[in-house]
């Protein structure tokens, strides 16, 4: 009773003080706009490795001793060896360039001593095409690296082609803002059309999108509390927030319209009743979505922590914005809603509902037959885990340049050996042993380039610092493998074994070793996150319906949809980004379980006055417009990412989200009514027991108050 009185006071405050609330949100938006540019974006996946990962430990030592350098592989077309030497020397003079390896270093490197054999000429010069490998002083994502890369492009001109980590990260940074804006712009346009067709006023979509825009701006600005967010989160958070939160404002306005137009209430009393009658359903819907996101924070690979908190915060802000700001905007603009009203474009869904109910047994049988092999197939996908899984895809300059360079000179996967600086002789022996491995293009170290008998002290200090510190030496090793493959992992493991044979405290690090650790960690993360998300959603649904069987039935069609969605890449032979696989599983469950809750709620309400046959048909007919509208919005957002992003991982995640929305809509509207009617007798018994318990608790509270 006290809880109800407190809620009434809050609702009265929201409605009666709507002008003050508008001012508060205006201040929040202005603060968020100012804060937003100060939110940093991290483009390095390896930064999210946990401290116990061996590659993370190696990375920490490398950054402390040398920094962790960005790498670029550059091919110049139609040049002579003399021209190549001149270009290499110019590039070596560029600020922030640590070293440049090219064909002319066969004859002249480090005071005239070559480190490559003559037979390696073809690795750097073929048919007038010259290859150079550039090591920067700063990391691949650093702005200084980007500036140096731009200067190199000016030196080389139109003959240059560029690949490797520094080029990939800099390309990502230059494209990501434009692609996010394109995805949001395209999605907003199509969502406006969907809302215009599924509502009864041309102005309602303006209200809905305005509320969501404010919530998104506040979420983006408040990311400042994290300091830095991942590029994966930056690319997807705003558009996913738009997709999963739109229902809340639609539901509140529908309730207001009901009390205003059907019940004939005045504006403010109608709004108070709308908030009161929708607070539980919107809160439950928001809670299921937040549970789907918050479980990501339990990933050891901490990009999940980053994305989980940002998305959960976004949904919470959306719910609060709908409850506090939406009433003020509706009260201020409802005359415009009425002025621009139009007839409903959605036809009655009774015939479709009847057909679905009639085919319920066939639907259940087909769903079961399809779901079982899909459950097995989803675990048989070929997954990718590292930078290559989310980097620039086909159709981009980076992708075509990479393929062109690999066609001419093969693959070059640079890894770094980090060993104690204790013995020049042992270091040279290790360098020579590494260079003789069949999968190694070359191995470069300071000891390997020193002429026999020449002490290190004879060399310039800045030259020595490139490969030696007081405590450590680094060896650059170029492997002729992809960054990510079973073969690359095996080769990196063999390198690690050889290094530790010479130096038990030595490290091997690079994208391949980091990716191998990411693979191991993400595989364990998925099992944990998947179980937690299912249990969390079941708990929220149970609190809503107070019947044990209902949460299980509610989640079954969503899980079937996830099985099918994730199995299709296996059947079509497409590789999946494992990180996107985890995130989409949580997004699809958290965002689309609302459809199941809506259908179930409508079924139970209808069941109070009808038999199970009529209740199932009425539930489908009543739910179908809302489910189709909400599912269409999520589908549009997903495919908006798919068609606008040049990043394979982001585009692929968009494809999975869009297709998952379609599958969830279809299975919720077809499988769930069949399940509810099939288990109707058990559901009714559990509902009666739950209601009896509720009445007993209410009676005890009433007695306590009366005493």
Domain segments of the chain: what residues?
1-38+199-336, 54-170, 349-380+546-707, 408-515
Least confident range from 107-116, 147-156, 570-579: namely 107-116
Instruction: Judge whether residue 345 has pLDDT over 50.
Output: yes
pLDDT of residue 466: 67
pLDDT-derived band at 464 (thresholds 50, 70, 90) equals: low
Instruction: Judge whether residue 115 has pLDDT over 80.
Output: no
The radius of gyration computed from the CA coordinates of the chain, to the nearest angstrom, equals 30
Q: What does the alpha-carbon distance between residue 392 and residue 646 come to, in Å, rounded to a whole number?
A: 5
| Per-chain mean pLDDT for the chain | 85
Q: What does the alpha-carbon distance between residue 305 and residue 295 come to, in Å, rounded to a whole number?
A: 9
Q: What does the alpha-carbon distance between residue 413 and residue 410 come to, in Å, rounded to a whole number?
A: 10
- Report percent pLDDT > 70 for the chain: 92
CATH 3.30.70 fits 408-515, yes or no: yes
* pLDDT tens readout for residues 4-54: 668 888 999 999 998 999 999 999 999 999 999 999 988 887 788 888 888
Architecture of domain 54-170: 2-Layer Sandwich (3.30)
* pLDDT tens readout for residues 260-319: 888 888 899 999 999 998 888 888 888 888 988 898 888 888 888 888 999 999 999 999
Instruction: Judge whether residue 64 has pLDDT over 70.
Output: yes
Element (H, E) at 444: strand 440-444
Among the listed residues 122, 247, 225, the one whose alpha carbon sits nearest the alpha carbon of residue 628: 247
Homologous superfamily assigned to 349-380+546-707: Multidrug efflux transporter AcrB transmembrane domain (1.20.1640.10)
Instruction: Judge whether residue 351 has pLDDT over 80.
Output: yes
Least confident range from 403-412, 559-568, 581-590, 629-638: namely 581-590
Among the listed residues 615, 627, 622, 591, the one whose alpha carbon sits nearest the alpha carbon of residue 683: 615
- Are 564 and 374 in contact, with CB atoms under 8 Å apart? yes
pLDDT-derived band at 704 (thresholds 50, 70, 90) equals: low
Average pLDDT over residues 506-535: 85
pLDDT of residue 153: 92
pLDDT of residue 25: 96
Neighbours of 334 (CB within 10 A): 20
Three-state secondary structure readout of 95-129? CCEEEEECHHHHCCCCCCCCCCCHHHHHHCEECCE
SS3 692: helix
Residue 450 structure tokens: 């020193």
Distances (CA, A) of 127 to 299, 409, 549: 49, 11, 71
Q: Do domains 54-170 and 349-380+546-707 have the same CATH topology?
A: no
pLDDT of residue 317: 96
* pLDDT tens readout for residues 536-554: 888 888 887 777 888 899 9
Instruction: Judge whether residue 109 has pLDDT over 70.
Output: no
Apex 620 CA angle, 630 and 664, nearest 5:
45
Helix axes 165-198, 397-409, angle to 10 degrees: 150
* pLDDT tens readout for residues 197-249: 888 889 999 999 999 999 999 999 999 999 899 888 888 888 889 888 888 88
Residue 562 structure tokens: 């996830």
Strand 129-136 versus strand 97-101 pairing type: antiparallel
- Dump strand ranges (E) for 500-563: 507-510
* pLDDT tens readout for residues 252-264: 888 888 888 888 8
SS3 382: coil
Class of domain 1-38+199-336: mainly alpha
**DSSP string across 207-245:** HHHHHHHHHHHHHHHHGGGGSEEEHHHHHHHHHHHHHHH
pLDDT-derived band at 453 (thresholds 50, 70, 90) equals: very low
According to DSSP H, which parts of 295-344 are helical?
303-324, 326-339
Element (H, E) at 291: helix 267-294
How far apart are the two ends of the chain, measured CA to CA in Å?
14
Which carries the bigger pLDDT value, residue 451 or residue 402?
Answer: 402
């Amino acid at each position: 009773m006290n809880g109800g009185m407190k809620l009434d006071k809050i609702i009265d405050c929201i409605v009666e003080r709507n002008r003050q609330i508008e001012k508060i949100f205006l201040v929040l938006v202005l603060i968020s706009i100012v804060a937003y540019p100060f939110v940093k974006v991290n483009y390095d996946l390896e930064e999210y490795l946990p401290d116990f990962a061996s590659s993370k430990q190696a990375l920490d030592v490398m950054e402390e001793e040398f920094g962790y350098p960005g790498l670029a592989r550059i091919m110049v077309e139609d040049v002579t060896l003399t021209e190549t030497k001149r270009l290499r020397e110019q590039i070596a003079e560029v600020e922030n360039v640590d070293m440049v390896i090219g064909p002319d270093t066969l004859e002249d490197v480090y005071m005239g001593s070559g480190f490559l054999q003559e037979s390696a000429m073809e690795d750097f010069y073929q048919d007038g095409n010259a290859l150079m490998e550039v090591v920067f002083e700063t990391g691949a994502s650093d702005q200084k690296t980007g500036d140096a890369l731009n200067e190199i492009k000016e030196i080389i001109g139109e003959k240059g082609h560029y690949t490797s980590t520094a080029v990939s990260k800099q390309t990502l940074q230059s494209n990501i803002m434009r692609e996010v804006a394109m995805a949001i712009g395209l999605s907003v346009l199509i969502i406006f059309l969907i809302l215009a067709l599924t509502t009864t006023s041309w102005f309602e979509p303006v209200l809905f999108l305005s509320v969501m825009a404010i919530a998104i701006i506040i979420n983006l600005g408040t990311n400042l509390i994290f300091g830095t967010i991942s590029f994966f989160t930056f690319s997807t958070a705003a558009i996913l927030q738009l997709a999963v939160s739109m229902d809340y404002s639609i539901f509140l306005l529908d309730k207001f319209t009901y009390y205003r137009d059907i019940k004939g209430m005045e504006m403010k009393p109608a709004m108070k009743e709308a908030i009161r009658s929708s607070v539980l359903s919107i809160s439950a819907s928001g809670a299921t979505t937040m549970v789907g996101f918050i479980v990501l924070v339990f990933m050891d690979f901490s990009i999940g922590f980053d994305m989980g908190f940002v998305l959960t915060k976004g949904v919470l802000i959306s719910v609060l914005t709908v409850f506090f700001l939406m009433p003020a905007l509706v009260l201020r603009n409802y005359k415009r809603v009425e002025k621009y009203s139009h007839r409903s474009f959605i036809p009655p869904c009774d015939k479709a509902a009847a057909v679905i109910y009639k085919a319920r047994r066939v639907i259940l049988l087909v769903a079961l037959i399809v779901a079982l092999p899909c459950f097995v197939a989803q675990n048989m996908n070929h997954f990718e885990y590292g930078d290559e899984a989310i980097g620039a895809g086909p159709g981009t300059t980076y992708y075509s340049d990479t393929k062109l360079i690999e066609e001419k000179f093969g693959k070059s996967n640079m890894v770094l050996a980090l060993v104690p600086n204790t013995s020049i002789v042992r270091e040279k022996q290790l360098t020579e042993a590494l260079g003789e491995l069949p999968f190694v293009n070359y191995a470069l170290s300071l000891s390997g380039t020193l002429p026999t008998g020449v002490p290190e002290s004879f060399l310039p200090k800045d030259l020595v610092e490139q490969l030696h510190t007081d405590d450590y030496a680094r060896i650059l090793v170029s492997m002729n493998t992809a960054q990510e493959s079973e073969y690359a992992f095996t080769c990196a493991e063999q390198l690690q074994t050889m290094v530790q044979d010479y130096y038990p405290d030595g490290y091997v690090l690079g994208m391949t070793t980091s990716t191998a650790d990411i693979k191991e960690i993400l595989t364990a993360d998925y099992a944990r996150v998947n179980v937690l998300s299912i249990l969390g959603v079941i708990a929220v649904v149970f609190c809503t319906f107070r019947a044990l069987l209902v949460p299980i039935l509610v989640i079954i069609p969503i899980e079937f949809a996830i099985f099918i969605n994730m199995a299709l890449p296996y059947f079509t032979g497409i590789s999946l980004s494992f990180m996107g696989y985890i995130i989409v599983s949580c997004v699809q469950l958290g965002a689309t379980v609302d459809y199941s809750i809506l259908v179930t709620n409508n079924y139970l309400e209808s069941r109070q006055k009808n038999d199970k046959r009529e209740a199932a048909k009425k539930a489908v007919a009543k739910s179908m417009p809302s489910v189709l509208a909400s599912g269409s919005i999520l589908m549009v957002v997903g495919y908006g990412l798919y068609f606008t992003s040049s990043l394979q991982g982001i585009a692929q995640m968009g494809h999975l989200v869009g297709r998952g929305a379609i599958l969830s809509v279809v299975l919720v509207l077809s499988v769930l009514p069949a399940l509810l009617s099939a288990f109707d007798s058990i559901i009714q018994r559990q509902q009666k027991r739950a209601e009896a318990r509720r009445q007993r608790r209410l009676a005890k509270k009433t007695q306590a108050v009366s005493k």
